[in-house]
Amino acid sequence: MEKARESLNKLELIASSRDVGISKGLEIIEYSNSDFAGCQDSKRSTSGYIYMLAGGAISWKSIKQALIAPSTMK
């Protein structure tokens, strides 16, 4: 019963302080990166991206490129 009372007290505290808190901005930040011929076996490059919102990842992808690039300029 004591655990239930503690939980109820915590819920009451959370409910009474809805307008108080620390928040990060709602700015979406995108990071991207790639390598050149990073796979030693196939010599294919890998590229990827991640989108962050409020400090957490909301979308990401990493993929090995289908074609082998002969240089970084092509």
Share of the chain above pLDDT 70, in %: 84
Average pLDDT over residues 4-24: 74
Nearest to 53 by CA among 23, 21, 29, 22: 29
Counting Cβ atoms within 10 Å, is residue 37 exposed (0-12), middle (13-18) or buried (19+)? middle
Domain ranges of the chain: 22-64
Predicted pLDDT at 31 = 95
**Which two structure tokens, joined as six digits, stand for 70?**
């002969």
Predicted pLDDT at 20 = 66
Measured distance CA(37)–CA(74) in Å, rounded: 13
Nearest to 59 by CA among 29, 34, 24, 33: 29
Task: Tell me the whole-structure pTM to 2 decimals.
Answer: 0.55
